[in-house]
Every structure is written in structure tokens, then in C-alpha cells.
Structure 1
Amino acid sequence: MAGALMLSGVTFTSCDDDNDLNTNQYVGGVSLNVFGPCPVARGGELRFLGSGLKQIQAVLIPGSGEITDIKIISDNEIRIIVPQDAEPGLVTLKHAKGSITTKTPISFTEPISIESISPLEARPGDEITIAGDYLNLIHEVIFSKDVAVSEDDFLAQSRSEIKLVVPAEAQSGKIILSDAAEEMPNWIYSDEELTVVLPAVEKVLDLTDVKPGNTVTVTGTDLSLATRIVMPNGDDVEFTVNDEGTELTFVLPANVSDGTIRMIPASGVEVAVATIGVAVPEDVVAEPAADIWAGDVIKLKGLNMELITDVLFPNVEDAVAPETQSATEITLVVPAGARSGNLVLNTASGATVEVEVSTLKPEAVGFDPVPAALAGTLTVKGRNLQNVASITFASAATVEVKNPTATEFSVIVPATLAAGANDVTLTLTNGETVEVGSIELSAPECAYATALPGEDVEIRAGETFVVTIANADKLTGVQVNGQNVQYILNGTSLIIQVPGSAGKNSNFTLLSSNGSISYDIAVIPATHVGMTIWSGMWENTGWGGNQDLAWDGYDWSQVPEGAILTLYMTPTVAEGEWWCVSLRHGDGWGSLPDPIPGQYENPENGVLSVVLTKEVLADIVANGGLIITGSQFVLNKVDIEWEISLETTIWSGSWDCGAWGGNQDLAWDNYDWSAVKPGQILRFYMTPTVAPGEWWCVSVRHGQGWGNLPDDVYSQIDQPENNLLEVTMTQAIIDDFVANGGLVLSGQGYILNKVTIE
């Protein structure tokens, strides 16, 4: 457009030196690159771009003198309003160290002017008239906050006036007339400000102690201009306005919170309509407030109780919803794991109220006998003992408590404790602890361990470990898992041989002439078996046969499926020449079944390893063992190795669970679940009877009433991956099986093939 100034075509000269200024943009120091628009309207805005322009103190335009009312946009841009008496000529920018004068003179457009705006107060949607001169050159009217109305939307336009509608988004402020040039448009500001009417309230309401669901009515003027009602948390709510725009009504939502409620018109200007203090439950008491436990029903009474959404119990992650609820009372079921402390009552507004409660604790605790012998049975008696999970002596040794009643339980006193007074602490199933005094302990008369291996000591199957014992003169023998084992007694140090078959959860027993004491130990099982079953130097020059591992030379029936047989050989031919080895069975030197081929040619590095499948082993056992034959090699050694599975099968068969049937073969007295240890893994192997991808499930339950396990774990597992379900046994699950009749397996759409434990 004619009024635009191209940035690349202007240079400037400083009055303080005769050299041309560097015209590169933003070169540093105080420099000017360009000004515009040019021509510019008197009363319009003139922009200067360059570097260090914050330092400009005054701008001189011919006919107007110094202009010091400078709008600083940034260090690279300043703006001024061109006075009405400005004349064409060079422009000078003054700063503390000198001045800059333009080479290009300023020129002016027609004298666009604003004489009046009528009316000066208008509602969005009202028509206003801008009167002045040369208004036919204006292409855009800009309201405060950059809300622009294009000439295409003017109601009327002439040299002397523009008529247009105030847009909904307009805010109060000065009006700008623009020629809409692309680079540097001419902007002419009105002297007077247009007041854009906002919705207004008679007074800001005080909504103290209101509740969700309450209806709020706001009175005022121009309320129909409101487009949004916003709650303190930022949520919008629906509202209605009467035809006169004098009443606005809305309902407080369920999650209303404290703060200011705002009314917002299309312009975005926020108007406060109410301050809110949401009602909360008051004067709340718990009944009972003490001696509560999981499964108990408690009442919370007070005012505004209908506002409670849920309640958090100490030590419980998930909030509990009320069982019943009214304006004065709620009832709750105490969740598993709840401890003493403050209940937190939550409301939808985010407000909380706390109420103190305490759990049921053991009382009047005593011991029998006193003193109690180390490694002997101790009976703990008292009240409220049914929730005891373990007992700890002297903060050093903890013993799990099994099947406690409300009045007593019995444990074996750890033999590794020190004789004398030992403080006793009871740990409840919710994790709380109760100190119940001290007990006098006496040493046992039989041989007993005074120090067991530490947790950092690894005890491995097939190796030895050391314990320190007392009354060593009474020791007559040592057993591991009921099996007599070798041992060496050196003073008070006892070296015990662990059988190679020992599993992870093992125990050892010290046998004495006057009694015995057993201890649990963690063993790292020996799962790898490897041995050389033949060695020597047997030369095979032409299909001879080594029969040392045939007939009664080796017991192949002990070898498990999947074992690896490795032959080590030395070829007797030159490198690269042909030789071979052949594996056969003893009876008639017949071939072995697949996948064993008739012969292996030139085994790499003289080593041959083969996997003995179930079929190959059966053939070797049935037909006289293994024959090694072939040609042109010396046999040096034969090794065999396999891995021992710690997985024990406790059930196998083919049981079809079509539609929530129940397999009870491991329930009631069919399996001793008390022998299972925490950490063992129960595995269920299954075959789906539905089409691939279709739904099926398995459900693990206890015998009594086919009830769910604690915390509803494993109550329904949909389509277990690889048709295998693994259950890690916890003490809670073990106790549940023991107390409730063992294991029942249910579900739908599968055949149970095998159950194992490891």
C-alpha cells in the first residue's frame, strides 16, 4: 500500500559525525534502522526500529519541537504519536551521547482525525458512530485488547463518519483507526475512551456455609451479557438469565469449593458475583472411637454429614464409601489394615475433617511358664490376642504367631536369644506394635545354637555351614530335613554337611541325649548336576564299538529328559579328512530314534553334544544302554549334565472346568498347606477349551464356602498368559488355606493338567 515503508530502502545519518551509519539491523550501541509508516497521519503512531533505542530521550519533528512522550516497546523499538502541527522534514532522535538524524524526510497522509465517538458508553452489539475527517481512508477499527472490525463489517463509511457495531469481545479503552497497511500501518488513537458495558451485580453475595445443590440467584444489570459462570476451582456451571437481564440463577455443583465465583462476558473481563465458604461436617464423633478392627461397623455422627463422599483410614490407601448416610450420620465398615490415628472425612468440595480413632489392642498380657526356656514352648495369655501376627524378643528375634485366639497363643522361643530378661513386643496384623513388658528366659539343657549364620551367609546344598552351639557334650546327632547328616564338632563350633537334595526352605535339628531343637535355614539348592561317566583313551579305527556304557555299565534310568550328553574325541586322520561318530543302543547295535541321526561327521573341535529326549532315553533303557561307534577317532571322555527342577507336582490329571465347577482334590485333608512356606510358588498348568482369543478364566479360592482368598487376590484371572497361572504364596494365603479347608480351583473354559509348587 502507498502508506507502507519498506525496511530495506532507508538509511540514516548521525548529526555528530559525517560518516554514514551501519545499516545492518541491530548492530549494537544506539542505532536506527528504519522508521515508519511514511507517509504517516498526523495524530497517528510513528515507529522507530534499531538498537539501543531505550536510550532515546527525545524525538524532534519539524514544526513540533521535542517530543518526550515516548512509548518504549523494547530496546529495538520505540513509538510516538505524531503531533497535529508536525511538518515535513528530517527527524532527529536525541540520546545522552548525541543524536541520530534521518536522511529521509517524514511525510504525511491526509489529516485523518477523530472528532467524536457517539455514544461513549455502549453495550456489545450496540451501534456507535465515529465522526472526523478523511475517515474514508480507514480500513479497520481496533478496540481495546486488539479486537478488530474490518471495513467489510462497517455499517456505513464516508469521509466524515464510520458507523459500526461494538463486537462482543470488545473491552473499554481508546479506539484505534488503522489503514491496515501490511508492514507499518497508520494507527490513529481516539482522545476519549469508549466504555463497553459489562454485566454488573448489585452486590457480591456472601455464600458462607452453603452446600452443593443450593440454588444461587444473582441480581444486577446487563446480566444477559454473561457467557460463563466459573466456580472457584475453574469449572463452568450452567445458568439462566431472565428476559430483563436482571436475575441470573445457577446451582452449586457437587464439587463446589471455597473461593470466588466469577461471571465472564465475551470480552473475558471477569466480574465477581459471590464469595463462597462451603459447609463442612461439624461436631463429628465416632461411635465407637476405640477398640475398632477390620470388619467392624462404626458410626460417625455430626452436622452436614450428607456432604461426606468417602473416608480415609490410617494406613489404608483406598478411601471407604459410607454404607449408609444421612444429614446427621454415616456408617462405615473398618477396612483391613486400618491403624490407630485420624480418620479423614472427604467432601466433594475438597474440604476435609479429621476424627481420631484407635484400634483394638492386646491387654493384660502374661506368660507361661516363667521363666521360659530357650527353644521351649511359651504360651502368651491375655485379652484381644486374636489379631497378633508375630512376637519379637529383645528387638532381635521375631517369631510368627499361628492361629492365635482372643485369649492365648503359643510359640517356640528362639534358641539364639540371650538368657535373662528380654523385652517383648507384639506385632498386629495391621502392622501396629504393642510393648507388653519383659520375660525371663533360661538356657535349654540340651545342645542348642547360640549363634546362627547371618543373612549375608549363603548356605548351599551339597556344602557345609557352621553354627555355634552350647551344651555340646549333649549332642548325639544332626539332621537336615529329617535326614541324618555328617557333622564335625570342634569345641562350640558345629560344621554341618547339607545334603545335595536340600531345598530352599529347609531346617536342621540338633539331637541330644536329653531332647532336640530345630531351626529353619534358607538353602540355595543345587540345581545343576554334571559328571563324567567315562574317561580313558579308546581308539576306534573302523566301526568298532565301545560298550562300557551299555548293559550294566551305566544306569540310564536315572537320567532325566533333556539331559545333555557330550563326547570329547581326537580325530586320527589329517585335518579336513573325513571321520565320524555314531550313537546306538546295545541290543544289536540298533539306531536310536529321532532326532539322533545315524552318524555325526567331523564334529567341530572333536566335541559332540546331544540332547537326550524322552524317546531317546526310553530306547536306551529298553535296549541295553549306549554303544559308541564310528571311525577314525580316539574317545577321551563322556560327560552328562542336567538341571534339577525344584518344582514338585502336587496334582496331575485332566480336569475339565466347563462352567464354574470346583476341583477340591487339594482341599480339606488332601494336602498339608501348613507345610508351605511364604515365597513358594504355586503353578497351575491349563489347556483352554475355547477357541483362540475367546474368553476363559481361572479362580483360586479356599474350601470353606468356596470363598475368595484374602484381599480378593486371584479371584478371577482372565486368560492367563501361556495358559499358566503362578501364585506367590504369602503368609496370609497360607493361613487362609489352613483355616478354611485348603484349595479349591474354579473358573470357566479350561482343562487343568497339573499343579506344582516350588
Structure 2
Amino acid sequence: MENIIYNRLRIALICITLLAGIFVASCDKDDDNGGRIELYSFGPSPVLRGNDIHFIGENLDLVSSVVLPDNIEVTNITVLSSSEITITVPQEARPGLVTLNYKGGSITTKSKIGYTEPYSITSISPTETAVREGEEVTISGDYLNNIVKVVFQGSASVDSANFVSQSRKEIVLKVPKEAVSGKIIIEDANENQLYSDLELTISQPVLTSFAPTLIKAGNNIVISGVNLDLVSEVIFSGDSSVVAKDFVSMSATSIEVVSSAYIQDGAITLKAYSGVEVVSTESVTTIIPSGLSIAAVSRYKAGLEVLISGSDLDLTTSVQFAGGTAITEFTYDGTGITVTIPDDAIDGMLALNTASGKSASTDAIVLAKSVVTDITPNPVDANNDITITGTDLDLVKSVTFANDLTVDVSPESSTSITVKVPMLATTGVLVLTMSNGGTVNTSAITINSPDYCYIPILPDSETEINSGKIFSIDVVNGDALTEVKVDGNTTSSFVEGTTMYVFIPSKANGNTDLTLISATGSISYTISVIGVSSIETVIMNETHDLASWASEDAGGAFRLYKPSFDGVQAGSILKFYFTVSATPGKMQINDANWGEQAMLEFSDAAQTSYEMELTQEFLDQILNTSDGWSETATIIQGQNLVISKVSVITFVASASETVWTGSQVMPGDWSGNIQLSADLFTSANVGDVIYVKTIDVLTGAQGSLKNGSWTEIAAGTDYFDISGDFELTITADILTALQSGGLIIGGHDYTATEVSIGS
């Protein structure tokens, strides 16, 4: 009934406003109120607190606040139009005049606002004593038959369907277990609410004591108090807890629980269903292993076992040696713990860690160290092997030469190590570094530097070496170089200053042998070659330190985008170049919506790249998944990896081999030429095509193709007209001429930029 009256009043007010507007407009169409704020009417009044009241007038959208008695300012204003605004009447509002504030002034109503209260609360029983969950509470008043919900403090509520009884004058209901002390609220079907003046006191748990106070993780604790059957959870320090369903027993005066393995020293907290928490005044003290001793042995060395005795050893979750990481793999037989000494352990005490975060320490132990007795041969030529003899040499992980050149080693025995002397090593003392970081110095060793040509620093993993291309690298003693072989076959090469240039044949692919031959000796290396049958395209070329799952903003996680995979076919390779900063390194590959596509782990700190085959399923997922705002194909994240480059390797059915690049001008007087040696055509076949790329071709330009004897290599090739690039198909006779004398490319009035052989 009240809603009907209110709606009719609102319609009437709006009609009055419209009629007033028509009246003003009919008097003077070209005039308005000059932007003044005017109030014509407001309503409904009386209004039920918690409901909306409307104000009708002109330019009311400029009102900044509405002040209700007694001085209750409302700034949450709903603007329906410039001529109508509404506010919600607060529960504490009183009868009286209403003021509308705006910039530069205010308007006060001529009539007072009033309130209607169709239902009321006159009393709540009981209020003299506390009630607890399940006990009945009686609310007395008027029109309580209109109430659909009673809300307690703590947001617990009881719907009318669950009332014990309900009439116009009275509601009887049971206290829910989530209720807390305070005023109650009654609510009608329109969500109008009325607060009680009286407060209801709700009983809560009371903790008086617990036993024992010195506890071993996993043992039982008995808690005593009042109203303990209202407890939903027992919480221990260290964020370990036990919920009610897992209590050993529970009554109004006692709770018995099994303490968590992760229990820590500190107070006990009881959490009631109401959310109220009760904290004990006493603290739990947890037991840790004690009376520790280590069985005496002749020596302690990485890889050997130690036996630890003591009390309460079953609490141990990990054993930690000085300088080492926590070890969770050990044996406990009921009386002692047996654990293997790790490689990274150093002299010092052992700690037995518990799940509670506490630990107990043993006496210190002294570990065995490597001892060197001899080095042979001495003197030694660089790039030759030396043998280091002694004791406990199996602890050694690397040998460092006098000029800070470090070589990693894997000793085959405890008495000797064989290590190759680096090419740049110099005379001096060697430093042997053990796996725990300790070092041992040897006596000096004399190292003779080689007089043959060698590469001082091999190319890193990011250096691309392509078959069919010229590869350049710095060398020492370059003037001694007489020949270079790739996979056992001689190839063209030359040295300028300290840089050697080598042509990598098209047949080379993957791990390839590179041999430098001098009159006084030779040396071989293994290089990684990208074959001509594959094309590697770099799609990301910046450094991202994934750290420990670092975000994109922190420079860790990064994205690869869909355009980088345009036209890429299943069977292609996605290659990552990286450094493993700590093991294990982890890389997670996700689609644009962070759906995991692969989780990779790298345990070898020496690994520098990883190749994964792009399946059709993977390509479909990353190309057809959208985040709705970017062209993201994949998102890469992880830990302990520094990724510097990502590429896509595609494969082609045929390829061309570049045998020369540059800029050779062919003047009008025929004085320019390119001379290609016979070894460049070792892998050529009948049917292959020689391509010559050109620029700056003038009118009347001509090309010329001759053999090593300066005669035409085939009929009609002595000279011929050109207007751009030109080519020659290799016949059996041409192949014989090429492989015996090479090829001379000449002509006039153009510039050659590249010569290649295509299959």
C-alpha cells in the first residue's frame, strides 16, 4: 500500500513539474531561469527511512549535498535529470527542514520532512543475560508480520521461513551460530531495515587453559574453557590449524586436537563460527631434537655417510651441512639418522631442521680436502694434456691456470686428473677448486705457447655460422696457416691481420670439424653450423632474466607475437638461447591467455640453447588463442634462466649456396673481374645453377663467364648482353671445368654483388 501511495505521489510531482515548465515556456519561449537552482517540491513525505526521496525543480544536477535533520549531510546523490534528483534517507534522519547545497549557495524547504514507521521494535528478550547458538530470542513490536528477515551483528541472518513463530506483535527465532553481540536489524520485503535500540548479548568461546604447554609435534593437546562447542577452528602459530571436523573430541568445556607437524612456538587461537577469535595468554613451546652426537669416523668426505644420534630425531625434516643446502633425503631407523655428505658441504656444524621452523645443531666436523703431489709433464706445450696426481682429487671440479683460464674437470679417480692446457694458458701456479668452493694451490708449471695457427677464443652459442657463407674469427699466428679443412675437406681461406676468413661448404650442417693446419702443427675444433637447408629467423633479440618467475614489468616474462609465426609450418623449430643462472632452470610456455603449453626444466648449467619442434597442435593453440587486446602468441616465464634470443628455424626443399659477396665494379674497359677457386664448386652438381646478382647495370652492359684459363667456360659465354642479374646452368662439361680451374666472372658497365649456386 505504501509503495502504491509513493508511486502516485512521484507521478503527481513529475506532472506538476511538467505543467510548470509548459507554463514558463508559453509565457516567454526565449527566456529561462538564467541557470538558477530552484526547488518546486519533494516527496514522498512522510518517507520510510532507508527509502529514496525525490526533489523536483530546475538545475538540480548542480546540487552537491543534501542536509537532513539533525545536520546529516548526504553527498551520494542520484541525478535522474537536471530537474529531478534522489537520495536515500539514512536511518538516523530526524523530522525537520531539508537544505540543498550547491556551489555559491543553498535552498531550504518550506515544509518539514516526516517519516513513517509501519513496523517497530519495543523489546528484545532476553537482554539481561547472554544467549548462545540455538537458544530462542523474542522480538516484540508492531507490524512484525511484514518482516522477512532478522539480521544479527556479524552478518548472520535468519529468514522468516526459519522463524520459530511470527505474528503482528512478535517474532520468536533461534540464534544462529555465526551471530555476535550487538543490535539486531529487522528487514521487510522491500529491503527496508530498522535497527533495534537494544543490544543482544551472544555468548562466545572462552579459553581458560590448555595442556601440555611443552608439546611434541603430532601429539594431542587438550583445551579447556566455556562454550567451546562454538569453536570452528583451532589455530596454532605458524599458520597451522585444525578444523572442527578433525577434532579428536569436542564439548562445551573441552576440545582435544592433534597438533600439526608445522606447529610453532606461540599462543593458541580459538576461532568461533561467528568469526570471533579468542587468544590464549599462555604459549606453546615445541620440542626439538636434543642430545645430538655424530659417530666418530676416520675422515669426513663428500660422498661418505655420517650417523647422527640423539632424542626426538623423528621430528627432523631436513639435515643441513655448513655451507650446503638442506637435504631431505636421509634415513631414520628409530635410533639414528644416516645422511650422505653433499659436495657443497664445508667445515662446521650440522643442523637438524624441523617442520616448526626450529633446528638443533651438532658439533662441528672437518672435511677432507684435495692434496696435489705431482704434475706431469712439466714443462708442457699449450693444448696438450697434463696429469695431476695426489689424494682426494675426485673432489675437484675445475682447474684454473695462471691467467684466470678455468677448465671444468670430471676426475675419473681420487688419485689423478687429466686436463687439457688451454691455448692461452701461461706459466704459473694452478688453482684446483673443489665442489664446495674450497681451493688448493699447486706448484708452478711451465707452459710453452704454440707457434702454429690457432683460435684463442671459440665462437659463443649465439654466433651464427652458416653453410654456404664465409665465417670470420680471430686467430693467433695467422701467418703460419697453410690450409683449412672442414669435415676433412680443404676449403678456401685467408688471413688479414689477426682475422681468419673461412668458407663453410654447403654440405656442412650441425656439429662440424674445423681443422687449422700449419707447417709446425695442426689443431681441430668442433663448430656448430646452420645448414643451407634450414633458415633461422630471429624473432626476439633482447635479454630477459626470468629470475624467480619475474614479471614482464620486472624484465623477466616476455611475449612472442603471432606475426612471427606467419607461414610457419608444423615441423619447424622454436629455438631459445639462454644461460642457466642456477639449477634447475625452468621455462614455462603459455598461450595468450596464460594457458600452459609446456613446462621445461634444465639441470645442466652448461646448456646454452634448447630447440622444440612446433607441432600443428601447438601452432593451432598459440595462433587461435586471443587475449582480446594484443597479437600475443606465447608468453614465456620461469626461473633461473637468462634468455637472450629466440628464433624460428624453418626447412626448405632446396637452397642456394653463396660463394662470393662484395661489390665488384665492372668498368667499361673490361678491367674488373671476380676469380672463384675450384674448391668452391666441390659440392656442385650437374643441373645446379650459378646466379650472379648485379646493380647499376648500364645500357649496353655485357657479362662474361670464363674458366681458370681465361677461355669461355661454355659456348656463348665469352661475352653476352645483360640488363640485370644473369645465370648459368651447370652441364657435365661445365662442372668439369669448374672443379678443375674455377670460374672467372667479368664483363663491363655493371657491378656484381653476389655469386651463388642454387640446386
Alignment of structure 1 residues 610-621 onto 2, 5 Å: none
Partners of 1:390 and 1:399 within 8 A in 2: yes
Deviation, 1:79, is 1.6
- The equivalent position to 1:248 in structure 2, one of 248, 255, 276, is 255
What amino acid does structure 1 have at the position aligned with 2:390?
Answer: G
Residue 175 and residue 372 in structure 1: after superposition, are their counterparts in 2 closer, same or farther (change >3 A)? same
CA shift digits 1:464-484 (9 cap, x unpaired): 9774339x9xx8987869979
CA shift digits 1:100-123 (9 cap, x unpaired): 428785253457341453254211
Deviation, 1:288, is 7.7
- The TM-score with structure 2 as length reference comes to 0.52
Say whether 1:200 aligns with 2:211. no
Deviation, 1:126, is 0.9
Say whether 1:155 aligns with 2:164. yes
Task: Find the counterpart in structure 1 of residue 232 from structure 2.
Answer: 227
How many correspondences in the alignment?
508
Deviation, 1:347, is 3.0
Residue 490 and residue 46 in structure 1: after superposition, are their counterparts in 2 closer, same or farther (change >3 A)? closer
Question: Is the radius of gyration larger for structure 1 or structure 2?
Answer: 1
Deviation, 1:202, is 1.6
Deviation, 1:193, is 0.9
Deviation, 1:320, is 2.9
Alignment of structure 1 residues 361-400 onto 2, 5 Å: 361-364=369-372, 366-368=374-376, 370-375=378-383, 377-399=385-407
Task: Find the counterpart in structure 2 of residue 143 from structure 1.
Answer: 152
What amino acid does structure 2 have at the position aligned with 1:118?
Answer: P
- Partner of 2:425: helix, strand, or coil? coil
Task: Find the counterpart in structure 1 of residue 415 from structure 2.
Answer: 407
Residue 151 and residue 401 in structure 1: after superposition, are their counterparts in 2 closer, same or farther (change >3 A)? closer
Partners of 2:53 and 2:89 within 8 A in 1: yes
Partners of 1:290 and 1:357 within 8 A in 2: no
Alignment of structure 1 residues 171-570 onto 2, 5 Å: 171-178=180-187, 180-182=188-190, 185-187=192-194, 189-203=195-209, 205=210, 209-232=214-237, 233=239, 235-237=241-243, 238-241=246-249, 245-273=252-280, 275-281=283-289, 295-311=303-319, 319-326=327-334, 329-334=336-341, 345-351=352-358, 360-364=368-372, 366-368=374-376, 370-375=378-383, 377-399=385-407, 401=409, 404-418=412-426, 420=427, 422-428=428-434, 430=435, 432=437, 434-437=439-442, 439-443=444-448, 447-449=451-453, 452=456, 454-455=458-459, 467-469=475-477, 504-508=512-516, 510=518, 512=520, 516=521, 518=523, 520=525, 522=527, 524=529, 565=687
Partners of 1:169 and 1:267 within 8 A in 2: yes
Partners of 1:423 and 1:438 within 8 A in 2: yes
Partners of 1:530 and 1:640 within 8 A in 2: yes
In structure 2, C-alpha distance between the alignment counterparts of 1:492 and 1:133, rounded to whole Å:
107
Partners of 1:71 and 1:78 within 8 A in 2: no
Deviation, 1:191, is 2.4
Partners of 2:383 and 2:420 within 8 A in 1: yes
Partners of 1:508 and 1:521 within 8 A in 2: no
- Partner of 2:109: helix, strand, or coil? strand
What amino acid does structure 1 have at the position aligned with 2:170?
Answer: E
Task: Find the counterpart in structure 2 of residue 573 from structure 1.
Answer: none
Deviation, 1:403, is 5.0
Residue 499 and residue 202 in structure 1: after superposition, are their counterparts in 2 closer, same or farther (change >3 A)? closer
Deviation, 1:34, is 7.5
Task: Find the counterpart in structure 1 of residue 92 from structure 2.
Answer: 81
- The TM-score with structure 1 as length reference comes to 0.52
Partners of 1:309 and 1:347 within 8 A in 2: yes
In structure 1, C-alpha distance between the alignment counterparts of 2:47 and 2:465, rounded to whole Å:
96
Partners of 2:494 and 2:502 within 8 A in 1: no
Partners of 1:154 and 1:164 within 8 A in 2: yes
Task: Find the counterpart in structure 1 of residue 636 from structure 2.
Answer: none
What amino acid does structure 2 have at the position aligned with 1:393?
Answer: F
Partners of 2:318 and 2:328 within 8 A in 1: yes
Deviation, 1:216, is 0.8
Range with bigger deviation, 106-115 or 495-504: 495-504
What amino acid does structure 2 have at the position aligned with 1:81?
Answer: E
Deviation, 1:367, is 3.3
Deviation, 1:250, is 0.8
- Partner of 1:306: helix, strand, or coil? helix
Say whether 1:169 aligns with 2:175. no
Task: Find the counterpart in structure 2 of residue 123 from structure 1.
Answer: 132
Partners of 1:416 and 1:449 within 8 A in 2: no
In structure 2, C-alpha distance between the alignment counterparts of 1:276 and 1:72, rounded to whole Å:
51
- Partner of 1:202: helix, strand, or coil? strand
Partners of 1:371 and 1:439 within 8 A in 2: no
CA shift digits 1:536-560 (9 cap, x unpaired): xxxxxxxxxxxxxxxxxxxxxx999
Deviation, 1:404, is 4.4
Residue 450 and residue 520 in structure 1: after superposition, are their counterparts in 2 closer, same or farther (change >3 A)? closer
Task: Find the counterpart in structure 1 of residue 2 from structure 2.
Answer: 2
Alignment of structure 1 residues 596-635 onto 2, 5 Å: none
Range with bigger deviation, 385-394 or 129-138: 129-138
Partners of 1:37 and 1:46 within 8 A in 2: no
In structure 1, C-alpha distance between the alignment counterparts of 2:497 and 2:213, rounded to whole Å:
79
Deviation, 1:194, is 0.5
Deviation, 1:276, is 3.7
Deviation, 1:133, is 4.7
Deviation, 1:406, is 2.5
In structure 1, C-alpha distance between the alignment counterparts of 2:530 and 2:144, rounded to whole Å:
98
Partners of 2:486 and 2:513 within 8 A in 1: no
Partners of 2:476 and 2:498 within 8 A in 1: yes
- Partner of 1:321: helix, strand, or coil? coil
Deviation, 1:397, is 3.4
- Partner of 2:394: helix, strand, or coil? coil
In structure 1, C-alpha distance between the alignment counterparts of 2:349 and 2:686, rounded to whole Å:
63
- Partner of 1:196: helix, strand, or coil? coil
Q: Tell me how large the CA RMSD over aligned residues is.
A: 5.7
Deviation, 1:298, is 2.2
